[in-house]
Structure 1
Amino acid sequence: MRGTYPNEWAVLTEKGYQGLGADFRAIHPKRHQRMQPSSLEDMRQNDNISHDRVIVENYFGRLKTLWSVCADKWRWDEKSCDLFFRTCVALTNAHVRLRPLRAEEGDDYQRYVARLRAIGLSIKERQAAKRRAYRENRQARLAVSRRNHDTDLSESDGETQM
């Protein structure tokens, strides 16, 4: 593909994909050599590439936020994976057209985090209520058990004294 369409597309990558340029037209930040600092030009180019990558990361963040099936390991039929993923990408593209990635991304993320916190708090409250109910029931059982034990002891004391 690199030879067929040399100037029409490129893969925007991270530093970890250094070897990808052999087969594809890859744009990736330059790694600095050990014990040698990066040049100012390399640092500027890396910043520009990182700036473009932020938009890609925002897109994938939106995709995963909207469609949890894309955020986790695919556990269903392999044949349907492509269909589901393409559908999620198409719906996310429509969502991005209506609400651009960088416009209110912070507000959406804050609402998402607040929702997750509320869910976590409700789970903790339910667990605390269960623990409280268990402790109350246990105290009641122990009180009944003590009363029965004290009653049994007083009855047995009366029998032994005769």
Structure 2
Amino acid sequence: MKDVGIVLDCTVIPICRPGGKLKEGKKFYSGKHHYYCVKVEVGVNPRMGTASTISEVYTGSTHDYSVFKEHYPKFQDKMEGSKILADSAYVGARPELGAVISKPVGTKEISSKRVIVERFFGRLKTLFSVFRHPWPFDVEKIGEYFFVACCLTNYHILQNPLTKKDEEANQRFLDSLVYDYLQKKEAKRIANERYNTKIKNKLNPGNMPAPRISSLGTQREGQTQNLVSIDHAISRREEEREQLESLREEERVCLLEREREREIPDTQSTDHSLDWFLPGQWKSTNIFLLSSSAPFPVFPTSSSSSSSASASSSSATHNTQILSPLQLLLNQRND
């Protein structure tokens, strides 16, 4: 295996599911890895472990041998009669290029030489985790970023040679793709089963599985608790209604009492200042007797007063005689 000049292999970079038409999106789906991805071929120097040649970016559905046929003319002049070491995906390159193919049941020497390219990919994706996860940027710029990452990885490998840990890192990356695919497949299968059972139960209600006794017991207990809480709420509402009705009745009684008090007049506080003007107060003597609240002078009773004056004074409640201004004038004239 001393005449091997380059070790070839393709690596995948996962991407998000592309939008647009379904036919265009299928080009990026890899049936081997069960993921939407792009593919890049890298040729690694078997002695140093650094990348010697890097291809362009291809869709995930492109076969490795198809990538090789387009990429090989770019580095064919630098081979100088040396052989190419690749895996079983490059079987078509054996007769025309003299490539050494590492099959799954190949010798340990061939497989140990080919492992170096797997270690390179592991070191690359360990240093730049953006190539392990779905690509968050524009897909058209993956080639530029990948070329720069390979150059920096070459410098890192010269300082720190490749080890078995790098190979394990690349294997973990490939296993993660398979794990994600299986997890999505299982979730899809469970969703389909639930949907099918739901449709069957709708079409044939008698085929529904009977619930367990324990579940029935818990269900009945929950129903009884709900009924008790409902009865309690109803009784509480009835009590609140009764309290409101009693308060409203008390307010009605108070309003009726206030209206009655307003209708009954206050006889004690009646104003008698104009009682002397009423016609019923005129007597036969043509003298107008004022009430006790009239603003006229009050004179004591004398023996020289006339019989008509004594008769009118006897009707007064108090022992005083209240005279009108006309009688005052008459008395002054008689004097």
TM-score after normalising by structure 1: 0.49
Larger radius of gyration: 2
Q: Which has the higher helix share?
A: 1
TM-score after normalising by structure 2: 0.27
